Structure 1
Amino acid sequence: MRLRSALVALVVVLGGLVAGVGGAAAATPYCGITWGSTAKAGGKLSTAPLGEVRTGQHGCWDRVVFEFAGPADGWSVAYGETYTEGQGLALSPYTAGGALLRVSLRAPAYDGNRVATVPYRTGEHVANPLGYRTLRDVVFGGSFEGYTTFAVGVRARLPYRVFVLDGPGTHSRIVLDVAHRWQA
């Protein structure tokens, strides 16, 4: 009888420990992501021209990297319709995805002689991230008066972050990460 009582008590205690751990795990953000999905902006206008746009994947998010030939740190990102620079035409008809991130870079996609520094045309798909969990499309929205715009199509309205990296060399990069999902 004592052995049975001891076993029942042990099961109750272990059950409480497991329930406590499960509750804490459920409250833990997915991959530690606490970014949110509200509008974000930072930095200032730069003359460093955009040179390359590329995408990548991580276990917890998909990434878009905008690389500049010089120091650039100005950007604004928000969910919503995206319009071409200079013309104001909606880019949503050109993009794939359930939600649209409007990316405005505070730097040109042309050099001091007004020669394009990227091979994209307005409305052209810059990247087609097939097989990505979150990214669906990256479309060039043009560059006008020192501002460059992209429409980034994503699966749904998900948390994102934006940050600036120096290098390589004299270059700089503005990085956009979009989470694969909200919390666990």
Structure 2
Amino acid sequence: MKTLRTAVATLALAGSLLVAPSTATAATTTAGPWCGITWGSTPKADQRMTVATLTGVRAGQHPCYDRLVFDVRGSTVGYSVRYVTTVYREGVGTPLPLRGGASLEVIIRAAGTSAALNRSEMVPVAGYQTLRQVAWGGSFEGQSTVGVGVRARLPMRAFVLRDGATSRLVVDIAHRW
């Protein structure tokens, strides 16, 4: 009887050793995405047309992503944000050169002015983890284009915050996948 109990205990121990590594592997592969980011890199858009004016652009750094905020005078704003091979200037169609490994085209359905803007460096982003350059692509027929040089094609999201007669288009680009 003692031999039978020893044999059963040995088989149980051997079985648990075989199961344990697969359980540990399953636990490590089901861990969530980095920083909880699940955005992806597909285009984001709200196609509505509005009578709005782009009034400013600013950037910020967060632990998991870099952020661009486009201030708009108008209660709502349409937009298109997508990775492209080349960003083109509004109205003339010439390429807008950008630093970085990927180019993000931000089209804001709001008129803008380049009078107060530094065309090639709208926002200082030196030292940012993801952003490399934010450049003015112009405004034509009620829409404005901004080219964003990004370190690489990374997950991004875009959304609008509304506050009465003003809106903010927010574009976040993750630091990594």
Q: What TM-score, normalized to structure 2?
A: 0.83
Query: How far does residue 153 in structure 1 lie from its aligned partner after superposition?
Result: 0.4
The answer to whether the Cα contact below 8 Å between 2:83 and 2:105 also exists between their aligned partners in 1 is yes
Match of 2:173 in 1: 178
Q: Does 1:82 align with 2:82?
A: no
- SS for the counterpart of 1:20 is helix
- 2:30 corresponds, among 7, 24, 37, to 24
The alignment's C-alpha RMSD in Å is 2.3
- SS for the counterpart of 1:125 is coil
Mind listing any 5+ residue stretches in structure 1 that lack a counterpart? 111-115
Distance 1:15 1:68 in 2: 55
The count of corresponding residues between Structure 1 and Structure 2 is: 169
Q: Percent identity?
A: 46
- 1:91 corresponds, among 92, 96, 120, to 96
More strand per residue: 2
Q: Which moved more, 1:7-16 or 1:100-109?
A: 7-16
Q: Does 1:120 align with 2:117?
A: yes
Q: Does 1:163 align with 2:167?
A: no
The answer to whether the Cα contact below 8 Å between 2:52 and 2:77 also exists between their aligned partners in 1 is no
Match of 1:113 in 2: none
- 1:137 corresponds, among 133, 136, 147, to 133
The code of the aligned residue for 1:119 comes to A
- SS for the counterpart of 2:70 is strand
